Amino acid sequence: MGMLLCPVDYSESSRNALKYAISTAEALDCAVHVLYVFQIPVASADAYVFVPSNEELESMKGSYEKSLEEFNMETLKSFPTTKVKLSFEVKYGDPESEILDVSERLGVRLIVMGIQGKGYLTEKLIGSTATRVLSESVIPTLVVPVSAHFRTPMNILFAYDNKQFKDKSVLKPLLWIAKTFDSNIAVVTIVDEIAEFPEMANILHKEQLDPSLETYEKTSYHIEQSPNFVEGVRAFMSVHPCDLIYLISRKRNFWTSLFKEKHAKEMAFHGDLPILSNLEC
């Protein structure tokens, strides 16, 4: 049995992410480990900052553990018949570092994190824990908008830049999800201008991805013409609705550059769709 990691902060966004994680874990036959990280106050030369002793930190940790247990129990009320095993822990330190450390220590298969609704990304997400985890984690990370409620991902959009992979194993999470749910995969590349016939583009498209996707029959290949990546993806989805977006981050600054685009306020492609990202090392 595998395990999913769901970092929370007691917000409704993280509660929604936990519900999504439990629903996903049911289908994937995985357990869910819930993590809360609180930060240690740091003394400043400019102002007085309270720095707790080790005993006080342990007391704080105990209080947070009680709150986290209550948070989990309240969330589980929405799943009265679930058989998903839920575990939890509280850590103190830097949230990003602790999330990455715990995910690697436990060998989790997926990290599930929540984010706020429309308009939140460009104002809050840049530089946030979610962004840093997305850009640093070697474990696939699923970002769940607060408005996204779990539904079977029958149609997955793989936003593909038509560049060769150094390691095609980065497609394994996509195939894992698709095979579990018997999903359709729409491989979509956004180009400024289609210089050749679409049929020729499709041939080139498929050659880049073979043999990773060639054995998965429910895969289709598409070219969308648009000068803007986000707009191109959204244009495709307006005609071909999907339930999940899959992205591969090739550079550490990928998410930052993407979210700085003017259309990022529309929740990076669509306001209520979860985004599964995998980092190519």
**DSSP code string of 247-269:** EEE-STTHHHHHHTSGGGGGTTT
In three-state secondary structure terms, 178 is helix
**Domain boundary, last residue among 123, 145, 167:** 145
The answer on pLDDT for 263 being more than 50 is no
Q: Is the peptide bond before 80 cis (omega within 30 degrees of 0)?
A: no
Asked whether the beta carbons of 173 and 191 are under 8 A apart, the reply is no
Do 6 and 111 lie in one domain? The reply is yes
Do 132 and 186 lie in one domain? The reply is no
**Domain boundary, last residue among 90, 117, 145:** 145
Which of 160, 159, 162, 157 has the alpha carbon at shortest distance from 177?
Answer: 157
Within a domain: residue 150? Answer: no
Do 18 and 54 lie in one domain? The reply is yes
CA distance 31 to 152: 18
Rounded to two decimals, what is the model's pTM?
0.84
Q: Domain count for the chain, please give it.
A: 2
pLDDT digits (tens, 9 = 90+) for 143-202: 888 888 999 999 999 988 777 777 778 889 999 999 999 999 999 888 877 665 556 556
Do 231 and 166 lie in one domain? The reply is yes
Q: What is the pLDDT of residue 262?
A: 38
Within a domain: residue 208? Answer: yes
Mean pLDDT score, 60-81: 94
The amino acid sitting at 86 is: L
Phi-psi region of 267 (alpha: psi -120 to 50; beta: other; left: phi over 0): left
Q: What is the pLDDT of residue 43?
A: 55
Domain residue limits at 177 = 155-279
Do 140 and 159 lie in one domain? The reply is no
CA distance 246 to 121: 18
Winning range, highest mean pLDDT, from 28-32, 116-120, 131-135, 199-203: 28-32
Check residues 49 and 37 and name the one with the higher pLDDT. Answer: 37
